[in-house]
Chain A
Amino acid sequence: MSTRDLGALGEPIARREDPRLLTGRGRYVDDFGQHALEVAFVRSPHAHARILDIDVTGALDVDGLVAIYTYDDLEERVAEPLPILIPHPALTDGRTQYALAKDEVNHVGEAVAMVVATDRYVAEDAAGLIRVDYEPLSPVVGIEAAREATELVHDDVPGNVAANMVQERGDARAAIAAAPHVIELDLAIERSASTPLEGKGVYARWDADDASLRVYSATQASTSVRSAIAAKLGLPPDRVEVIAPDVGGGFGVKIVHPWPEEILVPWAAIRLGREVKWTEDRREHFVSAAHERGQLQHVTAGFDDEGRLLGLDVRIWHDNGAYTPYGIVVPIVTSTQLLGPYKPGAYRVEFDSLYTNTVTVTPYRGAGRPQGCFAMERTMDAIAAQLGLDRTVVRERNFIQPDEMPYDHGLIFQDGRPLIYDSGDYPATLAKIKKLVGWDDFQAYREQARAEGRRVGIGLACYVEGTGVGPYEGGWVKVETDGSVVVATGLTTQGQGHQTAFAQVVASELGVPIDRVTVVTGDTRRFRYAVGTFASRAAVMSGNAVAAAARKVRQKALRIAAEALEADPGDLEILDGIVQVKGVPGASIPLSTVAVLSNPLRYAFDEEAKRATQFATAADPDKPPVAEGDEPGLEATGYYSPPRSTFANGMHAAIVETDPDTAEIKILRYCVVHDCGTLINPRIVEGQIHGGVAQGVGGALYERMVYDESGQLLNASFMDFLMPYATEVPVIETDHLQTPSPLNPLGIKGAGEAGVIPGSAVLAAAIEDAEGISITRMPISPSELHELRHAHAAPKERP
């Protein structure tokens, strides 16, 4: 690794994308195609039903209607089920939907017919006139119903079990049997969802002359969408361009691909020879995108008198909804990441991934970790309570110590690689969070509050997050002849500030001012190979990839400059976009000139170019202008492919107050200590944490997907799905550690998901502490806390 001048790296600079976004010049999918035809879907009102007949005649007279499609209109591979993106041997009974429902619908909101019209208003008019005759079937709703399996979601999947998987290290059950103390906990987390402010959207234009397709999609994985569209529509991949423009938040739901609409909209555009656009509305997003989090978990823990975990046995029932397009990543993540910073003597985990007639489940920020963290941290609190120990003491006794790193858990992680923690200092993190929240002073505060008739409680939760999942990302860096630098990487951006962070990486690697660097993401025209933005991987993966590309460019620049300056490359440095001989002022050449020289020219099209033309250079007449093995241009492509994930960690602590009368829950303080290795831009990382915490608070106190027994989602709007406003999110106090990852040159660990992970765990702990009532289900509302108080008080009143 060359000596790096960190320069802008690590600086909390303002984001370079912001002026555009702040003045209304952002370009989101629905901002394109103002004259495109627009799509509306007829979606099932039933959770489980057979489609007997679709009668479109009522809609045919609608002025402005262009086309109506049902399953019967679909051709070839468009008529096949959508792919299972992440196959797994344990996923024995994976099922996916058809782009338009064939014969049967399996959740409310599944698309049955597609209407194309001159605008969305007209499309909805026509959709409302299509009559679908259904034969309702018994729906399976909720994990208990799925487990009982008296009714089946898919006739050919017995027990509603899509997957069953066991992982074990040591003999956990024997260890528990031999342990001095054993506790059992039943824990539940309800459904929530990503709910980005911008829904999904697809806009497609077909160029018949060029036989090429361009698709704009609000996706987290444009290269994969391109592959999926090419495969489904039978097009050569190089005839398909997919662009993720500005995307209004993702949080996981936009990683799934292809969504039915990503196939249907381009398909219709080709068939009709017209531009076609679909913009998901909020209700569609609730009933036809994806949810997550719904899990039941039974924990059995054996421990010694000191509170050390001797054996841990966890049984998980995961609600995967109607289909499994994204495989079983979520329960695998819960199974493995549940362990957090701890090292139980032996561990066994088994999950069933179960079908229900509800919206499909795919990862939502945190992706199974909030459930796992809830299980582990509630267990730690229960152990402390049983032994009468301070909750931080029990945790500390179970921590993996810094000198045990790298630590191999003996399990397989979601990326198919061994679960090996690369680095982290958990005792130091704990010390920091205790100090930040004032853990040791809380008892005094509690007494004081109690004297004022107030109930307060404190909670703490720890997590470890595998980030920077492979297989790879790539980056391309080019220095233009005006000295500006363009950077492209294939993964996409949904607000993470990649145009700033990657520019910081490249600017510091190359030695150019950051305002000369422009970054493009998620555009298959600009970079062809990529995986996507998920699993807190962008900074780790593309950060290191663009760094690798920039380093290659730097080396080439130094080589060319050395020839021009007649100096040794080793004596050169690049400062502020100028290559110079160290310690020799005046012996320098701007990168712009190096870029000119890197590309031997015949034609001079401007003043700069003249310097590279054939009569202007004093090139060796015996050598080819472009040396063997070399390439014209000051540009390079680099890739980063890690051996395995890198593990960030952190701890949250919260102080809550519960109203003795109304049972309202107020967060008085919320503290975060976070370690994601080297920070590229601390301000961006802090923003990620704030946003994650807000989602964690939402998941703990406000948000849930309420299904009734018939599979109707009862709160499919922002009126009733209670995403927090500013008044519901506490002030977030943060502190950082920086334990660099040894796995990548920049020492980065991911930060995107961390903030959300411990939300339910830490708030349940604080509420339990305030109330003296065991909290085992999240989220919790004031109404539910009120009920718990009654249930808790009842035995005393009526012995």
Chain B
Amino acid sequence: MRDNPVFKIVSKILFGPIIIYGLYVQFHGDYGPGGGFQAGVIVAAAFILYSMIYGLEEGRKLMPDWIIRSVMALGVLVFGGTGIASILLGANYLDYSPFAYKIYKAQHLGIIIVELGVGLTVFAVMLGLFNAFAGFKPHK
């Protein structure tokens, strides 16, 4: 199945649009359905599709394991760090109001940063899970 050119071409064509759709879902979450989780899963799906068609090794070249692990941690750091930033600016944990002068701007900014953290972690974990399962070598 992997050698079928139709799959290869279709997956290559789809790769970009899926990621763009993922980014749209990520940053449009304030206005329509969507947000970090869904976006993370969608972007991960693009990479999973690539791995499924071109093989796990190719997929790992595209997104090495150390990047996946770092992005996983980075997402948590971005989300948790936002809370620390609020504390340093003199508000309660995860209070976005000190981020900007106008309350709605602050709220938008806070939500975008936080959703970005969610998206990064979910993306990396979902891809990491797939790689771990697909690349598992049972001991004989």
User: Do A and B originate from a single complex?
Assistant: no
